[in-house]
Amino acid sequence: MSAFFAFENTFAAGLPELVTDWQAVAVPTPRLVAFNAALAGELGADPSALQSPAGIAILAGNEVPEGARPVAMAYAGHQFGGYSPRLGDGRALLLGEVLDTGGVRRDLHLKGSGRTPFARSGDGKATVGPMLREFLLAEAMFALGIPTNRALAVVTTGEQIQRQRLEPGALLTRVAGSHLRVGTFEYAARLGDPELLRRLADYTITRHYPELAESASPYLSLLERVIEAQAQLVARWMLVGFIHGVLNTDNVALSGDGIDYGPCAFMDQYDPATVFSSIDHGGRYAYGNQPGVTQWNLTRFAETLVPLIDPDVEVAVEAATTMLEGFPDRFGAHWSSGMGKKLGLTTEEADDTALFRDLLDAMQAGRVDFTAAFRSLAAALRGDGEAVTARFGAQSLIHEWLPRWTERLAHEGDASADVAAAMDAINPIYIPRNHLVDEALNAATEGDYAAFEALDAVLSDPFTEQPGQERYAEPAPADFNKGFQTFCGT
């Protein structure tokens, strides 16, 4: 078989304690239902070869491509606060790594490839709805400019898989900066082998933060960089109204990319308490809790690094604690600067925080659509005041807020048209709204991919108005989101 990818296997070779060599389970009739040709090209693969039967056999796990060394990766994780010492890839395999056309090492990973030794009670399978959701969400994030893993392909298998009902089986081919997670460190730390932990930390540094190799305290610096990357990521999520849904430590990537889009969702009406995940009963991973829970997750990461940071435990803990205590400020700085940009500001002033808070209060009081609100503000700058009233209502606090914002903009003195254009360049019109995603995935589960393809296409260009696609910009019909839940039983 010809080489589809120039695979390397540095993780499996360098950290054999953290992988199990394994094979995908063969599937009867693979069919390619979603494919990312641009990403295939980025990975140095021939898109048409990958869409041929030989390529689809690889994407289905029926053939091991030349040079790949499929492994299930071991990791642990804190799930909803409780520690699970052994999670790992229960239904996924790392095929290997590919250097992309920019020279960046990327993981190729099959999800839904059958039971592995980490499967516990799971069937090792995935179904088409959740795999298409992950495809759609990852690519929408990419189009929004938010750090994320990517989706190369979804293949249906020809099997029917038992979930709440029988559903078509599928695999996702995922592409990620790496699959190094906080949970990978938790797993390695509990093995009690300091040399292994150091090798894992060194691998992470080489892969994601190579400049730290020369640092005087590389492991403390690694902690700092991961804290910074997560502060930035979560701020970006908050600024588009995204709720990851399962921010367990095994779903926190050390690269700073978003990963594992399971029961995630975008909120329509602004409300920090918004939760959609069917398994998040206490609201631990509610929209507004994401920064706090990320700091909690990072604390779990820091704990694993203590033996590497300093031979004196007290010294190490103190240094790590100081670093962790900086998280809220780092998050706040990214959030404020992002919020300022969403409102067309290019400088920061002391009173801006109050301006931002009061806008959010007006949104919350009026149950205003978070995404559409920012586009309506840009419209107001262009002289269309009706757009704001249409979103916020005639009685809204927004009408007292608008003159304050106008005055604040005047400090910068830019022409309104330019400010509005700058706002529109970063405030999306189109996001993966729950009712649209739901509609597309339900149809796909019945074998009709048209809605999925249409939504995927609209989301690939989220900032530009697309004539005829108005319904994709509107929030769900009243009451849709009230009972809406996303399911983790994927």
Q: Active-site residues: which are they?
A: 250
| Residue in the shown chain whose Cβ atom is closest to Mg ion | 260
**184 touching Mg ion, by CB under 5 A:** no
**260 touching Mg ion, by CB under 5 A:** yes
Residue 465's CB is within 10 A of a number of other CB atoms, namely 12
Which candidate, 146, 151, 113, places its Cα nearest to that of 135? 151
Q: Which does 167 bind (CB under 5 to 8 A by kind): ligand AMP, Mg ion, none?
A: none
Beta-sheet pairing, 150-162 with 31-35 = antiparallel
Nearer to ligand AMP, 61 or 88 (CB): 88
Nearer to ligand AMP, 264 or 316 (CB): 264
In whole angstroms, give the CA distance from residue 40 to residue 62. Answer: 19
Nearer to ligand AMP, 88 or 340 (CB): 88
Only one of the segments 193-201, 249-257, 265-273, 364-372 lies at the binding site for Mg ion (rule: CB under 5 A); that segment is 249-257
Q: Is the sign of the CA dihedral 107, 86, 25, 162 positive or negative?
A: negative
Q: In the 8-state DSSP scheme, what is residue 180?
A: -
Only one of the segments 15-23, 139-147, 256-264, 355-363 lies at the binding site for Mg ion (rule: CB under 5 A); that segment is 256-264
Give me the least distance between CB of 65 and Mg ion, in Å please. 24
Nearer to ligand AMP, 184 or 427 (CB): 184
The dihedral over CA atoms of 353, 405, 366, 277, expressed in degrees to the nearest 10, equals -50
**277 touching Mg ion, by CB under 5 A:** no
- Which amino acid is it at 264? C
Only one of the segments 107-115, 260-268, 402-410, 444-452 lies at the binding site for Mg ion (rule: CB under 5 A); that segment is 260-268
Q: Which does 119 bind (CB under 5 to 8 A by kind): Mg ion, ligand AMP, none?
A: ligand AMP
Only one of the segments 16-24, 252-260, 405-413, 433-441 lies at the binding site for Mg ion (rule: CB under 5 A); that segment is 252-260
Give me the least distance between CB of 246 and ligand AMP, in Å please. 6
Alpha-helical runs (H) found in 69-217: 128-144, 182-190, 194-208
Give me the least distance between CB of 112 and ligand AMP, in Å please. 8
Task: Provide the CA 245 distance to its chain's centre, in angstroms.
Answer: 10
Q: Is the sign of the CA dihedral 362, 366, 367, 370 positive or negative?
A: negative
Q: Which does 91 bind (CB under 5 to 8 A by kind): Mg ion, ligand AMP, none?
A: ligand AMP
**268 touching Mg ion, by CB under 5 A:** no
**Residues in contact with ligand AMP by the rule CB under 6 A:** 87-92, 118-119, 122-125, 246, 250-251, 260, 262, 488
Beta-sheet pairing, 77-79 with 82-84 = antiparallel
Only one of the segments 96-104, 247-255, 322-330, 436-444 lies at the binding site for Mg ion (rule: CB under 5 A); that segment is 247-255
**156 touching Mg ion, by CB under 5 A:** no
In whole angstroms, give the CA distance from residue 220 to residue 417. Answer: 46
DSSP assignments along 284-328, one per residue: TT-GGGHHHHHHHHHHHHHHHHHHHH-SSHHHHHHHHHHHHHTHH
Give me the least distance between CB of 202 and ligand AMP, in Å please. 25
Which candidate, 160, 132, 167, places its Cα nearest to that of 446? 167
- Which amino acid is it at 221? S
In whole angstroms, give the CA distance from residue 35 to residue 47. Answer: 9
In whole angstroms, give the CA distance from residue 24 to residue 31. Answer: 16
Nearer to ligand AMP, 260 or 424 (CB): 260
Q: Which two tokens stand for residue 86?
A: 């052994």
Nearer to ligand AMP, 190 or 341 (CB): 190
Q: Which does 89 bind (CB under 5 to 8 A by kind): ligand AMP, Mg ion, none?
A: ligand AMP
Footprint of Mg ion (CB under 5 A): 251, 260
